[in-house]
Amino acid sequence: MSIEFLICLGTLFFLAGIGTPIAYAILVGSIAYLYAAGQGIGIAGKVLMDGLYQSFILLAVPLFIVAANIMNAGTISDRLLSFCVALVGRFRGGLGHVNVVASLIFSGMSGSAVADAAGIGKIIIEMMTKSGHYTRGYAAAITASSATIGPIIPPSIPMVLYALVSNTSIGYLFLGGIIPGLLMGAVLMAMNTYLSHRRGFALEAPVPLSELPRRTANAFPALLMPAILLYGIYGGVTTPTEAAAVAAFYALILAALFYRALSFRALYGILVESARSSAAVGLVIGGALILNYVVASENIPSMLAQRLVGLDVNPILFLLSVNLLLLLLGCVLDATTIILVIIPLFLPTCRELGIDLVHFGVVAVVNCMIGLITPPYGILLFVLNAVTRIPLSEIIREIWSFLIALLVALLALVLFPNLVLWLPRVFGYAG
């Protein structure tokens, strides 16, 4: 490791340690490397602009963010929740099941865990606490856990970012996320069932089955969005980026014209908030592009791959080790940083060991989403604390059971690659 790279890492960790936003820490650390190595600072600008202009796929990120924010507006979330209550609210722990099913449905519209937690999640927490059957901490914990499904079932902003660094097909990544997302929902519902019986949660008043057709009809236009998105991509009608534009446009038409739940003032607020969120992600992407140039200049990925192949590492053991590392990093780093900065280091080794990059990508994204609820950093815990004012200590006390359930699902995905690869192969994936 060169002196210049040590300067880069030292600057990065020092700035991050004193509370500097990670995007700025990465940018300053990378520029410090270029300066110490005697390379022109203009290289940073060139790498940044080349990375952005050559990545048409990045347009999908702000478009999915806009679509998610629009779907959170007005009565769309209320209609989806009403449908979920009628569907699964009659079972013990019913509102917990509603929470998970709502996240499964909403994940097909947003692609963002934070949007899921702060939008539909806030509403369901109020429903759970007002019922008197659930503690505040339990309601927030299951909401945070179910929100991790958002970026697994397509569309998925983290998978778009992984496709950027790995040159993997977004379409096959999206397909690979469907079964893992359903598996995550199943283990969370199983844990909710277990805890509901153990703690004796009261049954909710069941919604008459005669109400189900009406509530389904009310929610049906919103439920169509994932189908339109997936048909556009896998039917060859649109590219993933164009599908993101279609999703944003459909959400706008649905909220403004069909449900009449979106005013011009609300739309302006949504666009401003979406621009802020996109800019925050864009800063991290920009810093990661420059840092990845620095890492490539040091030849670190190739050296790591050669060292591990020389040791004749078993692919499963490698995957388990990488996932353990990612889980530890998820305690202190956000998912975007891990995907853009850390994961590219392991891609050459995956190729050398014959590990499928779609399988690795989906598993890595699931891992990063689990990091969103892992104390002490767990950004979803802070988001729910901010929007609901439920004390962080109460949420953390209840999160561990659901965290264990998700780790079981992650282990299954690592050990059984067909859980990820079966659906992509059905649609022609050769991996």
Distance CA 340, CA 165 (A): 7
pTM score = 0.80
- Per the listing, tokens 């561990």 go with 400
DSSP-based three-state secondary structure for 428: coil
What mean pLDDT is predicted for residues 206-221?
81
**pLDDT, position 180:** 96
Whether the predicted pLDDT of 275 surpasses 80: yes
CA distance 161 to 359: 15
Residue closest to 128 by CA, chosen among 145, 113, 114, 140: 140
Q: Between the ranges 137-146, 207-216, 248-257, 270-279, where is the mean pLDDT highest?
A: 137-146
Assigned token pair, 398 = 């209840």
pLDDT recorded at residue 414: 95
Share of the chain above pLDDT 70, in %: 92
Cα(103)–Cα(231) distance, integer angstroms: 21
Q: What integer pLDDT is reported at residue 190 of this predicted model?
A: 94
Residues 23-45: what's their mean pLDDT?
85
Q: So what's the pLDDT on residue 178?
A: 92
Are 146 and 185 in contact, with CB atoms under 8 Å apart?
Answer: yes
Q: What is the pLDDT of residues 60-83, one digit of tens each?
A: 778 877 877 787 665 677 777 778
- For 300-358, the DSSP string reads HHHHHHHHHHHTT--HHHHHHHHHHHHHHHTTTS-HHHIIIIIGGGTHHHHHHHT--HH
Mean of per-residue pLDDT scores for the chain? 83
pLDDT of amino acid 12: 86
264-297 vs 22-36: helix crossing angle, rounded to 10 = 30
Closest CA to 140 of 376, 377, 382: 382
Residue 377 DSSP one-character state: T
Q: What is the pLDDT of residues 362-377, one digit of tens each?
A: 999 999 999 889 887 7
Judge residue 290's burial from the number of C-beta atoms within 10 Å of its C-beta, 0-12 exposed, 13-18 middle, 19 or more buried.
buried
pLDDT digits (tens, 9 = 90+) for 279-322: 877 887 788 788 878 887 887 767 766 666 666 678 899 899 99
Question: Model confidence at 176, in pLDDT bands (50, 70, 90)?
Answer: very high
> Which residues have a Cβ under 8 Å from the Cβ of 97 and sit 6 or more positions away?
88, 89, 91, 189, 192, 193
